[in-house]
Amino acid sequence: MSLDRSDVERIAHLARIAIDDSEIPEYTESLNSILTLIDQLQATSTDGITPLAHPMDAVQRLREDEVTECNQRDRLQACAPAVEEGLFLVPKVIE
């Protein structure tokens, strides 16, 4: 697939990007090279290749999920202007 000047102008219009007329040939060339690369990638056979969640097969080192602090909700909510059933009450900002 190859783009021409009118295609680049339309793409710029749809993306709401202002492009000078002098820059259009450069953008056309760049977009065409990107599309050529995509065509090359699509032509590559991926049959028999299992999808990866991460290219390095890395495993995250996670700590144990355990409680390290006591519940301080009542103490922290004591200075709040309005609290109901353990929740902070705030003024409505969206109508």
Domains of the chain: 5-42 (1.10.20)
For residue 86, what are the contacts with CB-CB under 8 A and spacing of at least 6? 73, 77
The three-state (H, E, C) secondary structure of 3-62, written as one string: CCHHHHHHHHHHCCCCCCHHHHHHHHHHHHHHHHHHHHHHHCCCCCCCCCCCCCCCCCCC
* Global confidence as pTM: 0.51
For the chain, give the mean pLDDT.
Answer: 91
54 in the Ramachandran plot: left (φ > 0), alpha (ψ -120 to 50) or beta? Answer: beta
Neighbouring C-alpha atoms within 13 Å toward the C-beta of 79? 3
| 47 alpha carbon, distance to own chain's centre | 28
Band of pLDDT at residue 9, cut at 50, 70 and 90: very high
What does the pLDDT read at residue 27?
95
